[in-house]
Amino acid sequence: MLTTRHGVRVLASADLPAFLDLANQDPVVNVFALHRAHTTNLEPRWLGGEMWGRFEAGRLVAACHVAANLVPVQASPEDAAAFAERALARRRTASTIVGPQSAVRPFWDEVAPAWGEPRDARWDQRHMEISGPPLVAPDPGVRAGVQSDIGSLYPACVAMYTEEVGVSPEAHGGGDLYRARVAQLIGRGWSFVRYDGDELVFKAEVACATEHAAQVQGVWVPPHRRGEGLASAGMAAVVHQVRARIAPTVSLYVNDWNHAARAVYERVGFVETCRFATVMF
């Protein structure tokens, strides 16, 4: 397939080995894109969008996942600008742009005049990783979620999402889809819960995973139970269990201003490895 201007074209299943080589240059930062590549074989019908690649002298040097989430992969500022030019030639489909600051910012600088005011832009997010045992004792009450938990887990997921993103996942009729996503993560063994009697007091999920890394999202403690150490011990348990049965490195990213969450992750043993940025529509 011929490349387009600036060497950018849509990747196909035949490009999968080259894409995996590229993304595995940083398999933890790129865990989302690698997960998507492994599960879709880069087929647009399964991606729900496209994976773009930028080539130099016939070699794949950068990529960009373009679906509901637009995610640059190993992209320099020049690569990001080239992807932005292609993006401007079509209707925006992404509801979120997320990835390393060094790629998201130059991409946004190019598309902002045409794409308009975002709902939110978070330019300083800490990408953090842990590849060894947690530094605090895991909470023995944390376990993998089961489908019978969904009655209490689903409202907690909605509350977490709304608090974090600023809009409910149930808005515009999205409740059924979001509930299905919660059930899917339970089915994969990627949902983690802690109950105190009948009360859900901690939860977290693995959003995506490969053989190298698992990215955690949705960490939540009900507001009236915060400050009791539930998050630190709970995250230590998540790290312990994820490393035992899913992937050897656990990652996440957190807003710079969320000092309480950052303190929890640092206490558990997470260290910053990259700065992310997220633009939401």
In contact, 239 and 134? CB cutoff 8 Å: yes
- 177 plus 90 within the same structural domain: no
Residue 134 placed within a domain: no
pLDDT of residue 151 exceeding 70, the answer is yes
Residue 194 placed within a domain: yes
pLDDT at 247: 98
pLDDT-derived band at 4, boundaries 50, 70, 90: low
Looking at the chain, which runs of residues are DSSP E strands? 8-10, 50-56, 59-66, 69-73, 96-100, 120-130, 143-144, 191-196, 199-209, 213-220, 249-255, 271-280
pLDDT of residue 238 exceeding 50, the answer is yes
pLDDT-derived band at 165, boundaries 50, 70, 90: confident
For residue 38, report the phi and psi dihedrals to the nearest 5 degrees: -65, -35
pLDDT at 170: 87
Measured distance CA(69)–CA(216) in Å, rounded? 17
- 182 plus 252 within the same structural domain: yes
Our CA angle for 74, 18, 3, nearest 5°, is 85
Q: Which residue has the tokens 């977490």?
A: 160
- 173 plus 266 within the same structural domain: yes
Residue 133 placed within a domain: no
pLDDT at 66: 97
- 58 plus 148 within the same structural domain: no
Domains in the chain: how many in total? 2
Our CA angle for 275, 234, 35, nearest 5°, is 50
CA 250 to chain centre: 12
CA 220 to chain centre: 16
pLDDT of residue 7 exceeding 70, the answer is yes
90-136 pLDDT per residue, tens: 999 999 999 999 999 999 999 999 999 999 999 999 999 999 999 99
Percentage of the chain modeled with pLDDT above 70: 98
Residue 147 placed within a domain: yes
Q: Helices 175-188 and 150-165 sit at what angle, rounded to 10 degrees?
A: 120
- 163 plus 107 within the same structural domain: no
pLDDT of residue 167 exceeding 50, the answer is yes
pLDDT of residue 1 exceeding 60, the answer is no
Which are the contacts of 11, defined by CB distance < 8 A and separation ≥ 6?
19, 42, 50, 51, 52, 53, 60, 63
In contact, 187 and 148? CB cutoff 8 Å: no
**Structural domain boundaries, residue 51:** 5-116
Which are the contacts of 253, defined by CB distance < 8 A and separation ≥ 6?
125, 126, 127, 128, 276
- 11 plus 84 within the same structural domain: yes
Percentage of the chain modeled with pLDDT above 90: 91
pLDDT at 3: 47
CA 160 to chain centre: 15
Average pLDDT, stretch 139-162?
Answer: 96
27-86 pLDDT per residue, tens: 999 999 999 999 999 998 999 999 999 999 999 999 999 999 999 999 999 999 999 999
| Residue 70, domain CATH | 3.40.630
Average pLDDT, stretch 223-247?
Answer: 97
| Residue 157, domain CATH | 3.40.630.30
- 150 plus 107 within the same structural domain: no
- 95 plus 155 within the same structural domain: no
Residue 148 placed within a domain: yes
Question: 116, 151, 166 — which closes off a domain?
Answer: 116
- 179 plus 63 within the same structural domain: no
